[in-house]
Structure 1
Amino acid sequence: MATTIKFSKKHKIKEDKFVENFMRVRLWFEEKRKPLLVTAASIAGAALIVFFAFTLRGNRNVDANNYFGQAMVEYENGRFSNAITSLKKVADNYGGSAAASRSLYCLGNIYYELGNYSLAIDVCKRYIEKYESSNFLTPAVYKCMGSAYIQTRDYANAQTAFATAIAKYPKDFSAPELLFKLSQCAIELKDASQAKETLDRLITGYPASSYVHEARLMRAGL
């Protein structure tokens, strides 16, 4: 014999509330379905854009690194003109890549080695303008620029380049050399007091440096 299950009035009210809420949710979904689908499509589209952007960026980095590698091979084989062409391509066309800053650094040094000091200075200035705050090569770029100024006998600008590098990057491994070059500029500018002060900074601040011995000799002669 089948058993009849009876529900209380309270239970019936709860059941009605459940059905009512369910219907409200269903109606809300029907009303919002199109906007929700549009939103979902927009999110999916944005995700695809981000994905392709990162993929494109990755491909650009690969291309930039390939050109940079080619430039280094050309440089090692003494084909400086070809190296310069490849480095310029990276610096000009792949500005957002890590290879771009390295290309400018190498370009400045190659111009310096070739004795084209004005171009070396221009490239170093371009590097500092674009990458100074975000690259570990910056002290070396200041050194290259200052050294190029020395070769053109522009000791005042050379002094500024070396002093700026020391002030901004006192813990860089090149600091002793920068101080030594800074003292040379002071000597050329007939500023013995500044030269002595700079040499003292080198001797006391970096006693283990290979520049200390020569710095002491220069200091004794002032």
Structure 2
Amino acid sequence: MMQHNAMEAPRPAGFARLRRGAPALLLSLGLGLAWLPQAHADMFPDNEARRAILDLRGQIAQNQQANQAQLAQQAQQIQQIRSSLLDLANQIEQLKTEIAQLRGQQDTTTRQLNNTIAKVAASQKDLSQRMAPLEPVAVQIGGKSYTVQPAEKAAYEQALAAFRSSDFAGAGSQFKSFLAQYPSSPYASEAQYWLANSLYAQKQYKDAVTAFNGLINGYPGSSRIPESMLGLANCQVELREVRAARLTLQKLVNNYPQSEAAQAAKDRLAKLR
């Protein structure tokens, strides 16, 4: 034993103290190790919280990315809408310009059209004035309607106006000219009648007889025949052809008994007897 002990290495001075404090250290370690399972158990809730936080952060990051993507998409859509609105505004301006041009063209066209209409109206008026002397006019002759040329009507009325103003020579000359120019005129029988009366008024009884006979024989449908027969009888009386005058008056009464001339003829017959 002594030899074993002699072979042991010398121990430090503090070893004795460590040896004496070993039981206390072991006790302390034992106590410390006793709470490790509890501490380890307490660490699990913290890890779950961290995991939840990390998950939440991940969701937030995803949401942020989604929001950013959505915002980017909305920004792109807004940009597209702005571009569309800009294009629309440009189109509207272009349409305004085109409308203004069209209005200007329309105003110009309207003025040109109005000027053309005015010119056409003036031309029509001028043409109507020029054509008026050539266009036939309706007249009433002997209770019947006829159509005559304006110049024809004017010539007849001028000759009749001369007769009514007692210009019998002028009236006779104008009626002769009228009959020569318008032999088929509806006024022809009237002109013949007034020609005969113009000659009678000038005491040209033989020429008047010829003129009255010309109406009686040449215009059988004339309403002036009864008056012409009475005028013929008056010329015959002036020429002292009493027998011929009586025959003319009697023929007048027989053929046109209802006429005013027939009543005058009866009075003349009574005087001639």
Find the aligned partners of 1:120 and 1:215 in 2 and give their Cα distance: 27
TM-score by length of structure 1 reads: 0.57
> Could you tell me which amino acid in structure 1 is paired with residue 243 of structure 2?
S
RMSD: 2.3
SS at match of 2:132: helix
The match for 1:166 among 210, 213, 216 is 216
The match for 2:157 among 106, 115, 137 is 106
**Residue by residue, what CA displacement relative to the aligned partner does 1:126-171 show, whole Å, maximum 9, x if unpaired?**
1111111x21111110111111111111111111111101101122
The aligned counterpart of 2:191 is 141
Find the aligned partners of 1:168 and 1:59 in 2 and give their Cα distance: 37
The match for 2:233 among 167, 177, 183 is 183
The aligned counterpart of 2:206 is 156
- Superposition deviation, residue 101 in structure 1: 1.6
Q: Indicate the structure (1 or 2) with the bigger Cα radius of gyration.
A: 2
User: Do structure 1's residue 193 and structure 2's residue 243 form an aligned pair?
Assistant: yes
Structure 1 gap ranges (5+): 1-56, 69-96
Structure 2 gap ranges (5+): 1-126, 138-147
- Superposition deviation, residue 63 in structure 1: 3.3
* Structure with greater contact order relative to length (CA < 8 Å, sep ≥ 6): 1
- Superposition deviation, residue 220 in structure 1: 2.1
Distance 1:186 1:58, change over 3 A: farther
Distance 1:125 1:60, change over 3 A: farther
The match for 2:172 among 118, 121, 140 is 121
**Residue by residue, what CA displacement relative to the aligned partner does 1:52-84 show, whole Å, maximum 9, x if unpaired?**
xxxxx9865413569x9xxxxxxxxxxxxxxxx
Q: What percent of counterpart residues are identical?
A: 23
Find the aligned partners of 2:134 and 2:248 in 1 and give their Cα distance: 41
Find the aligned partners of 1:142 and 1:159 in 2 and give their Cα distance: 12
> Could you tell me which amino acid in structure 1 is paired with residue 229 of structure 2?
L
Find the aligned partners of 2:260 and 2:239 in 1 and give their Cα distance: 25
**Residue by residue, what CA displacement relative to the aligned partner does 1:149-205 show, whole Å, maximum 9, x if unpaired?**
111111111111111011011221111111111110100110011101111121111
Structure 1 residue ranges, 4+ long, deviating more than 2 angstroms after superposition: 57-61, 63-66
The aligned counterpart of 2:9 is none
TM-score by length of structure 2 reads: 0.46
Tell me the number of residue pairs that the alignment of Structure 1 and Structure 2 aligns.
Answer: 136
> Could you tell me which amino acid in structure 1 is paired with residue 257 of structure 2?
P
